[in-house]
Chains A and B, each alone.
Chain A
């Protein structure tokens, strides 16, 4: 949805949460955020926490304002119709590590 030119980048760890307060407590680098919370503060939180990859679950839509802010911060935005649980399970099974 955004950052299609950065498909070669790799992430090692992921964190699944709809609570941005929890995301702001992490100090892991190079993280994928998996979330069902799609609003401008999701992007702002990622900006502050130096998170460059966000995967939106449950078919959540990215607004033009969100895409613009994500673009300014060189983020990659991905989307899936799957639930947070299913998405996390698939990625975990394929080797993506948890933060804790």
Chain B
């Protein structure tokens, strides 16, 4: 069983931030994945989706569900992350006031993604964009 899904994400579009994560959650429920695993997966994905909306200009989320795992690749065009190590530190944030007004931007996202995934990898080029890959086993 291999399922592939692709979702577009627009930077700044807070009204629809989370739409992709919501669809993935429904899909995983239909596939009868353990609810606790689903929660970790969608929390990581939602944090990552909000990051694209909050920081990037646009992005694509690619989901690949195999028999025993899910691979999520989020590729955005945006300012990139100059210092990934610093960005991983809890409390470090470059979020705008608008992002904070939505209840985010506290510098918790990346560390929470790490906590909720089995594998996580970030590559970034300043001025071009960021690619985040996450893998969770069922």
Contacts and interface: CB of A to CB of B under 8 A. Distances in A.
Interface string A13-31: 0000011111111010000
Given A44-B17, A44-B46, A48-B18, A21 B108 contact: yes
A19 B25 contact: no
B39 A41 contact: no
Contacts of A80: none
A40 B42 contact: no
B39 A22 contact: no
B112 A39 contact: no
Chain B interface bracket (under 10, 10 to 19, 20 to 34, 35 or more): 20 to 34
Dominant secondary structure at the B interface: helix
B43 A49 contact: yes
Contacts of A21: 103-109, 112
Interface residues of A, number: 21
B18 A44 contact: yes
Contacts of A50: 35, 39
A52 B106 CA distance: 24
B22 A47 contact: yes
Given A24-B47, A48-B43, A41 B22 contact: no
A22 B90 CA distance: 11
Interface in B94-120: 102-109, 112, 115
A46 B104 CA distance: 14
Contacts of A41: 14, 17-18, 50, 102-104
B2 interface: no
A25 B108 contact: yes
| Complex A-B, nearest 6 residue pairs according to Cβ-Cβ distance, in ascending order | A20-B103, A44-B18, A21-B108, A21-B106, A48-B46, A37-B103
7 contacts: A21-B108, A22-B106, A24-B47, A44-B22, A48-B18, A48-B42, A49-B39
Interface of A: 18-25, 27, 37, 39-42, 44-45, 47-50, 65
Given A41-B104, A47-B22, A48-B21, 18 more contacts: A19-B103, A19-B106, A20-B104, A21-B107, A22-B106, A23-B103, A24-B46, A25-B112, A40-B14, A41-B14, A44-B21, A45-B46, A45-B103, A48-B18, A48-B22, A48-B42, A49-B43, A65-B15
